[in-house]
């Protein structure tokens, strides 16, 4: 298993460099000159050259990219074209906000979605299953920004129970978390139900019941255990998409997360900010996939056996020297 984990970890730097190169190339395909964007309405050629040299834009594109990668490894993401401040100071403090929002939402989603999905699979086509299916499809189809605005109108403006924006204590997290949670929860319940149904129809489940096992053992030990692989994949992918997909939620609730900073960087054509935010989001996405791969090895013994040390082959080998030529 250690060999399996090391192999996955070694791939991470190469993936990050490939993503950084791809984003850098896309940003430089624009015809806009970043130096001109920073210049006042009246400037001289000396001012232009000085600004280009200050931000390292006087060098060739490959040299700019290499310098950026070397600095980024040291958590120096350059200087913002808009604010002229270090990008690290503007971006890194936002990471815990987005991470906390995604983590809280994911934990609540697991706590609610897994039991509901399992119950729907166990009681397939029942009244409970039909109600949950309809409700899940309804929640999954709701646009996040619209749901956030409706929750603000009801619970902040009309009832005054929770703040409508900003981070001012525990209550400030309630509306963003539920706005984030409900659409994802609708899809999550349906996927858990589908994974359970794929396993509950298998022969080993019928055999377990025929042997007289308790229904709780059949469901939670035999069925749910074998349905964990698709559930783990879904959970990890959802968590990664939450971190990168929080732009609209953070915009609606004025949350100082990294998604909001990405939007600001795109609006201002601030390349260092866009690059830094993209790489941080990519790191979290790759990290989530790495955790999924490790959990695969923990749950599925077939993966562990594939990367385990092969037993020595004691089969006698034919002599190659002195034999018949």
Residue with tokens 């605005």: 149
> Using CA atoms, how far apart are residues 250 and 263, in angstroms rounded to an integer?
10
User: Which of helix, strand or coil describes residue 86?
Assistant: strand
Domain spans of the chain, in order of start: 15-90, 93-304
Per-chain mean pLDDT for the chain: 80
Residue with tokens 């990668």: 69
Name the pTM for this structure: 0.75
> Using CA atoms, how far apart are residues 295 and 180, in angstroms rounded to an integer?
25
For the stretch 172-210, pLDDT in tens is 888 888 888 888 888 889 888 888 888 887 787 788 778
Q: Is the dihedral of CA 50, 279, 276, 182 positive or negative?
A: positive
In a 13 Å sphere around the CA of 307, the CA atoms on its Cβ side amount to 17
Nearby residues of 46 by Cβ (< 8 Å), 6 or more positions away: none
For the stretch 94-126, pLDDT in tens is 888 888 888 888 899 999 988 898 888 888 888
Residue with tokens 């791939």: 11
Q: Hey, what CATH class is 93-304 in?
A: mainly alpha
Q: Give the model's confidence band at 308: pLDDT under 50 very low, under 70 low, under 90 confident, else very high.
A: low
> Using CA atoms, how far apart are residues 204 and 222, in angstroms rounded to an integer?
8
In a 13 Å sphere around the CA of 80, the CA atoms on its Cβ side amount to 19
For the stretch 287-302, pLDDT in tens is 888 888 777 777 766 6
């Amino acid at each position: 298993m250690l060999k399996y984990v090391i192999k996955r970890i070694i791939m991470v730097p190469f993936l990050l460099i490939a993503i950084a190169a791809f984003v850098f190339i896309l940003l430089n395909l624009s015809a806009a000159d970043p130096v001109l964007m920073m210049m006042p309405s009246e400037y001289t050629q000396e001012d232009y050259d000085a600004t280009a040299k200050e931000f390292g834009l006087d060098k060739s594109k490959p040299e700019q990219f290499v310098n950026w990668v070397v600095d980024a490894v040291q958590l120096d993401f350059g200087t913002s074209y808009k604010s002229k401040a270090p990008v690290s100071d503007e971006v890194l403090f936002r990471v815990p906000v987005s991470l906390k929002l995604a983590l809280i939402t994911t934990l609540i989603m697991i706590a609610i979605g897994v039991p509901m999905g399992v119950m729907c699979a166990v009681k397939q086509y029942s009244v409970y299953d039909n109600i949950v299916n309809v409700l899940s499809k309804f929640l999954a189809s709701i646009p996040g920004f619209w749901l956030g605005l409706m929750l603000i109108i009801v619970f902040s403006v009309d009832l005054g129970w929770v703040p409508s924006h900003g981070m001012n204590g525990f209550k400030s997290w309630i509306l963003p978390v539920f706005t984030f949670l409900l659409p994802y929860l609708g899809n999550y319940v349906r996927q858990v139900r589908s994974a359970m149904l794929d396993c509950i129809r298998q022969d080993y489940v019928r055999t377990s019941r025929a042997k007289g096992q308790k229904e709780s053992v059949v469901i939670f030990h035999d069925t749910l255990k074998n349905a964990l692989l698709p559930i783990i994949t879904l959970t990890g992918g959802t968590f990664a998409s939450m971190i990168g997909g929080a732009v609209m939620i953070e915009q609606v609730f004025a949350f100082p997360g990294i998604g909001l900073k990405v939007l600001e960087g795109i609006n201002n054509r601030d390349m260092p900010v866009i690059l830094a935010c993209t790489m941080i989001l990519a790191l979290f996405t790759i990290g989530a996939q790495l955790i999924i791969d490790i959990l695969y090895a923990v749950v599925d013994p077939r993966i562990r056996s594939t990367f385990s040390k092969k037993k020595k082959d004691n089969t006698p080998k034919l002599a190659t020297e002195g034999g018949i030529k």
